[in-house]
Chains A and B, each alone.
Chain A
Amino acid sequence: MAILTRSGDRTIEEKEALLGYALIAPALVLIAAVILYPVLYNVYLSFTIVPLNPNESPQWIGLEHYSTLLGSSQFWGALWTTVVFTFFSTTLATLGGLGTALLFNRAFRGRRYVRGLVLLPYVAPLISVAFVWRFMLDPLYGIVPYIGSDLLGLYDGNVDLLSNGDTALWSVVFIDAWRYFPFAFLMLIARVQAIPSDMYEAAKIDGASKFAQFKDITLPELKYILATVFLLRWIWNFNKFADIWLLTRRVETLPIYAYKVAFANYQHGQAAAISMVLFLALIVFVLGYVAWALDW
């Protein structure tokens, strides 16, 4: 619809557009200055040696950092740890959320309160959550080793679950899934409740079992949202730093490797290259996943 009314020298459409630019400008300027510029600067830094003295300029070395990474077993190990951590924590959190959403998809007394309580791990501060788990897993006085080892005899009591190389990764995977399953639950519960109940009525009349109902009605109805939840959690878990770092120093994912290289070894150029590889690996995964799972 063309609006020809003039007020001043500009049409209403022009004024709307100008207002649009004016309103978005502060956000765009900030994002460009504090995100886009640093990201591009990071690309540049990854080709340089960054001197400790901030007044000296970085020294261009081309692809050297990248070739160092390709030949480093520590790098490949960290990449593998990242993939294992991300895959299992994402899958567990998504399944946990799905299970809880299906379980709570019915009317019962106090449902609102129960739902609020289930969100607590996701809402509580990371620092508190990380430290209570560290205390609960403490090899001397922790309640988890007491139950798991002393009472149930599941493993040898001298093993410190968070600093033992074999168990640290799985402890972190479990704690991460515990913290983030409420996110999946929240995203899924709305969709679960929106499935029309007459679909189940019809299936019941046809004599479909609970499992058949789940496979043929629930899963197809939730396919899109499940795929989205999995993707979002994958992106965030792939980049995860603080959750792992605060729990243990024995799990070295790529973000942690980059952090150590940057701020323990002060090799900022090398660290920039690691974060670039992390980013590229994530982009490749996301594009492949989207092409495979979602019809965008």
Chain B
Amino acid sequence: MSTKQSTYRHVVDSFKNALGVGEATIETSLFERVVFYLAMGLTLLVTLFPFYYMTVASLLPESTLYTLPPTLIPTEITFEHYRTVFGPETFPFITYFKNSFIVSVVTAGASVVIATFGAYSFARLDYRGRGIFSRGVLMVYMFSGILLVVPMFQVIVWLGFVDSLASLFITYLVQTLPVSLYMLGNYFRSIPEEIEEAAIMDGYSRLEVIFKITLPLSAPAIVAVFFFTFMIAWNEYLFASIFLQSQSVFTLPIGIEALSSSFRQVWGQIMAASLLTSIPLIVMFTYLEKFMVEGLTFGAVEG
């Protein structure tokens, strides 16, 4: 190989490495690459098509929405469905959105705070009964909503919390606590204990260690847990459907379901509402993707 050629190869390789495409091109044949990109394209098509179609349908005027063949690439778009969704005439979408948001933020915030202390206790402090407590929490993780729905309904009626967001807050908080405890506990155990021991040697108390060392180091995990508990509360349908009765306290899942069952052929509005409901989760996920993926590997989240 001449010097000129090897210099050229070197430059190409370093560019490829810088772009992160180096490895793939070394050993694979053209045929393999074609198959790979076809398979990837198919995977992405199956995964993303419903979201694309949701977006398109929310923008199509009624006249093209209900025709065959279905429109895949809109030639004419309208924001009419969004206007209807935000207008107070058909259904109070903004109220539902606000209710969902309040319940989810409060649930996620409280769950993270309570679980941070609990998980630290499991992960680092030594006391009798710790093993039973932490295994017990894992067991609870396996209980389904349907096992709780009848007794919880009785309890909520007895407490007088029916038809209030408080009923959801209590239920969701406790449903998310085992997940949060488990994820944060696993994360705390992955932080080297020596760092904390060194701080204790320096005269810090345990609580100071938690606030000044463990919590700052755990920021990614805490963000991930907040997101997942928010997601669980944002999605919850079962308990909301039995506890809530009046429109003013409906959350998004109940509200959109009510819209679809009381009107016929309102797909445009439902698709617009569905897209708007997805936005908070997708925005959070896009910003926090790295933490999310990391967080998920620390504890499987029910879904």
Contact = CB atoms under 8 A, between A and B. Distances in A.
Interface of A: 13, 15-21, 23-24, 26-28, 30-31, 33-39, 41-42, 45, 50, 54, 100, 103-104, 106-109, 111-112, 114-129, 131-136, 138, 140-143, 146, 150, 178-180, 182-183, 186-187, 190, 232, 235-236, 238-239, 241-242, 245-246, 254-255, 258-259, 262-263, 268, 271-272, 275-276, 278-279, 282, 286
Interface in B1-54: 19-24, 36, 39-40, 43-44, 46-48, 50-51, 53-54
Interface residues of B, number: 97
A210 to B, nearest CB: 10
A182 B51 CA distance: 15
A125 B140 contact: no
A22 B140 CA distance: 21
A128 B20 CA distance: 35
B303 A118 contact: no
A122 B253 CA distance: 16
Contacts of B43: 100, 103, 118
Interface of B: 19-24, 36, 39-40, 43-44, 46-48, 50-51, 53-54, 57, 65-70, 72, 114-115, 117-118, 120-122, 125-128, 130, 133, 137, 140, 142-155, 157-158, 170-171, 173-174, 177-178, 181, 206-207, 231, 234-238, 242, 252-253, 256-257, 260, 267, 270-271, 274-275, 277-278, 281-282, 285-286, 289, 292-293, 296-297, 300, 302-303
Interface centre among A31, A117, A246, A254 (most CB of B within 10 A): A31
A75 to B, nearest CB: 15
Interface centre among A20, A128, A238, A239 (most CB of B within 10 A): A128
Contacts of A39: 143, 147-148, 151
A255 B150 CA distance: 12
A126 B274 contact: no
22 contacts: A17-B128, A20-B130, A30-B114, A103-B39, A106-B23, A111-B20, A118-B43, A127-B253, A127-B256, A132-B57, A141-B65, A141-B66, A141-B70, A142-B70, A143-B53, A143-B72, A146-B68, A241-B145, A258-B149, A268-B154, A278-B147, A286-B142
B143 A35 contact: yes
Contacts of A180: 303
Contacts of A263: 242
Interface centre among A124, A183, A275 (most CB of B within 10 A): A124
Given A24-B118, A127-B252, A242-B237, A36 B140 contact: yes
B296 to A, nearest CB: 5
A225 to B, nearest CB: 11
Nearest to B56: A143
Contact of B177 (A30, A45, A121): A30
A124 B278 CA distance: 6
B50 A136 contact: yes
Nearest to B130: A20
Contact of A125 (B46, B149, B235): B235
A134 B286 CA distance: 26
A7 B300 CA distance: 41
Contacts of A275: 144, 146-147, 149-150
Q: Top 10 closest A-B pairs, CB basis? A: A239-B144, A20-B125, A128-B274, A17-B127, A38-B151, A27-B118, A242-B237, A23-B121, A34-B174, A23-B117
Contact of A178 (B46, B120, B157, B207): B46
B117 A24 contact: yes
B36 A31 contact: no
Contacts of A236: 302-303
A78 to B, nearest CB: 12
A178 B20 CA distance: 29
B126 A17 contact: yes
B158 A232 contact: no
B275 A272 contact: no
Contacts of B66: 140-141
B259 to A, nearest CB: 10
A126 B50 CA distance: 13
Given A103-B36, A143-B53, A123 B285 contact: yes
A181 B230 CA distance: 21
A33 B174 CA distance: 9
B170 A34 contact: yes
A131 B270 contact: yes
